[in-house]
Amino acid sequence: MAQAINSISCSICLDLLKDPVTIPCGHSYCMGCIKGCLDQEDDKGIYSCPQCRQTFIPKPILNRNTILDELVENLKKTRLQAAPSDLYYAGPGDVECDSCTGRKLKAVKSCLVCLASFCETHLQPHYESPAFKKHKLVQASTQLQEKICSHHDKLLEVYCRTDQQCICLLCTMDEHKGHDTVSVAAERTEKQRQFGKRIGEREKKIQELRQTVDTLKHSAQAAVEDSERIFTELICYIEKRRSELKELIRAQEKAEVSWADGLLEQLEQEVAELRRRDVELKQLSHTEDHIHFLQSFQSLCVSPGSEVLPSITVYPHISFEHVKKSASELKDQIQDVCKKEMDRISGEVTTVQIGSPAEPKTREDFLTREEIQ
């Protein structure tokens, strides 16, 4: 029977369910208790179960649970009829009933007014007698004295927000006079609301962070693809300029070699003709007829090609060394520009952050942060 009572007790007021209602997650509460909790969450528009913290949008509609209501009523009618053998006797670590004589039964509730704990049988007057109507029942506890003011021996039913402690009504008239005070029930509800709000804020932050991470991933992928395209275009541009320079060098080489080959052929032909005439001149030199020599010599000395040798300046050390030097300087310039721009771009990449880093708390944190920067 003790387990039955616990199963149909409100986890907010810790008493038997009054006008029981069940919310969507399956937990049941007194109509008044759960309504008060839900009303305090109207400002954020997200409602949660005090037990499992499951959230609901919109606000749950509270309908009376007739089955639980009947169970509560039946339990009230039948629990006095239960024999002691149906109950549990108190064992090591259990809270004993202060009203039992002889072997004590396990207490199911403690009264903050009586400062005593009761089993199901001895608890019955608290449910049925008007004299106990205003008594506060809680889960059975061996620490009832902790709920009593040490100065006034009164129930701690007020919470002082100024000093952050539980006090009694008499405390509000002397050392806590003028302080910000509320009932312990109101403070509990407020702290539960604040805790639920913290959960809601963190759940919202989780959603925002996940969306930010997805956005970052898409942006990073787009940046990688664009960078690949841009660098591919840059490589193609450099390759095109390399090919153009190669063709220019080869064209100049071909033109100059062709011109030189033509001149070589002409000079070689003239040299061959001159050598042939030199042979005839040697033969003519043996004649003793001076007139014949002079007449023949004139015809032999006529140039087989042009009368005047073209004025040609030959550069024996001609080379494309200056082209190589210019290409090397271009490479250095491109490398310098690339390094400068890549340093700038890298700086822009590191500024893409989901959130600002936390301030370093230790020397190791500071050194780590400096290495990253």
CATH of residue 112: 4.10.640
Average pLDDT for 42-59: 83
| 3-state percent breakdown (helix, strand, coil) of the chain, nearest 5 | 55, 10, 35
CATH of residue 15: 3.30.40.10
Residue 72, pLDDT score: 81
Average pLDDT for 267-296: 83
Asked which of 63-67, 174-178, 228-232 is least confident by mean pLDDT, the reply is 63-67
**Count of the separate structural domains present in the chain:** 2
Domain for residue 40, yes or no?
yes
Whether residues 9 and 38 fall in one domain: yes
Residue 7, pLDDT score: 61
Residue 303, pLDDT score: 58
Share of the chain above pLDDT 90, in %: 33
Residue 144, pLDDT score: 82
Residue 342, pLDDT score: 92
Give the end of a domain, one of 60, 81, 102.
81
Pairing of strands 137-139, 116-118: unpaired
Q: How far apart, in whole angstroms, are the C-alpha atoms of residue 290 and residue 284?
A: 10
pLDDT at 128 over 70: yes
Q: How far apart, in whole angstroms, are the C-alpha atoms of residue 14 and residue 126?
A: 14
Domain for residue 75, yes or no?
yes
Pairing of strands 165-167, 158-160: antiparallel
Residue 258, pLDDT score: 93
Residue 361, pLDDT score: 55
Sign of CA dihedral 287, 288, 292, 298: positive
Residue 240: pLDDT band (50, 70, 90) is very high
Residue 362, pLDDT score: 60
Give the end of a domain, one of 81, 97, 128.
81
The identity of residue 200, as a single letter, is G
Average pLDDT for 13-17: 76
Domain encompassing residue 100: 87-142
pLDDT at 105 over 70: yes
Residue 27, pLDDT score: 86
Q: How far apart, in whole angstroms, are the C-alpha atoms of residue 237 and residue 369?
A: 40
Average pLDDT for 50-57: 83
DSSP, collapsed to helix, strand or coil, labels residue 232 as helix
* Residue tagged 């399956």 (tokens): 26
Domain for residue 272, yes or no?
no
pLDDT at 145 over 90: no
Per-chain mean pLDDT for the chain: 83
Strand partners, 225: none
* Residue tagged 């390759």 (tokens): 239
Average pLDDT for 55-68: 85
Residue 107 CA, distance from chain mean position: 51
Read off the pLDDT of residues 345-373 as tens digits, 9 standing for 90 and up.
999 998 888 877 556 556 555 555 544 44
Residue 85, pLDDT score: 47
Nearest to 10 by CA among 39, 35, 45: 35
The Cβ of residue 297 has, within 10 Å, a number of other Cβ atoms equal to: 14
DSSP, collapsed to helix, strand or coil, labels residue 174 as coil
Residue 372, pLDDT score: 41
Angle between helices 184-284 and 290-300 (to 10 degrees): 160
Residue 77: pLDDT band (50, 70, 90) is low
